[in-house]
Amino acid sequence: MTPLALGGVIFAVALILLATGMPIAFALGSTALIFMLWTDGFSAVMYMADTVFSGLDDFTLASIPMFIIMGAAVASSRAGSDLYEALNRWLYKVPGSLVISNIGACALFSALTGSSPATCAAIGKMGIPEMRRRGYAADLATGSIAAGGTLGILIPPSVTMILYGIASETSIGRLFIAGILPGLMLTGLFIAWALFLSWRRGTAKLNIDVSFTWAQRFELLPRLLPLLAVVVGVIYALYGGIATPSEAAGVGAALCLIMVIVIYRMWHWSAIWAIVRDAIRESGMLLLIIGMSVLFSYAMSSSLVTQSIAEAIAEMDVNRWVLLGLINLLLLVLGCFLPPAAIILMTTPIILPVISAAGFDPIWFGVVLTINMELGLITPPVGLNLFVINGITPDVSLTTILRGAVPFMLCMVLSIVLLCFFPEIATWLPTAMMG
Question: Is 167 part of any domain?
Answer: yes
Question: Is 300 part of any domain?
Answer: no
DSSP SS3 for 381: coil
Please state the separation of Cα 222 from the chain's center in Å: 28
Question: Is 372 part of any domain?
Answer: yes
Question: Is 13 part of any domain?
Answer: no
Question: Is 23 part of any domain?
Answer: no
pLDDT digits (tens, 9 = 90+) for 298-316: 777 777 776 676 677 666 6
Question: Is 29 part of any domain?
Answer: no
Quote the domain boundaries for residue 337: 59-289+308-434
- Which run of H or of E encompasses 197? helix 180-201
User: Which of 85-99, 106-120, 122-136, 362-376 shows the highest mean pLDDT?
Assistant: 362-376
Residues 162-183 have a mean pLDDT of 87
Does pTM surpass 0.85? no
Neighbours of 71 (CB within 10 A): 29
**Count of domains forming the chain:** 1
Number of helices (H) and strands (E) in the chain: give both, helices first: 22, 0
List Cα–Cα distances, 319 to 316, 355, 359, in angstroms: 9, 12, 12
Question: Is 72 part of any domain?
Answer: yes
Question: Is 35 part of any domain?
Answer: no
For residues 369 and 343, give the distance between their C-alpha atoms in angstroms, rounded to a whole number. Answer: 10
For residues 377 and 394, give the distance between their C-alpha atoms in angstroms, rounded to a whole number. Answer: 19
For residues 332 and 334, give the distance between their C-alpha atoms in angstroms, rounded to a whole number. Answer: 5
Task: Categorize the per-residue pLDDT at 220 as very low, low, confident or very high, splitting at 50, 70 and 90.
Answer: confident
pLDDT digits (tens, 9 = 90+) for 16-45: 887 777 887 888 888 888 888 877 777 777
Phi first, then psi: give them for residue 220, nearest 5 degrees: -90, -15
What pLDDT score does 355 carry? Answer: 87
pLDDT at 225 over 90: no
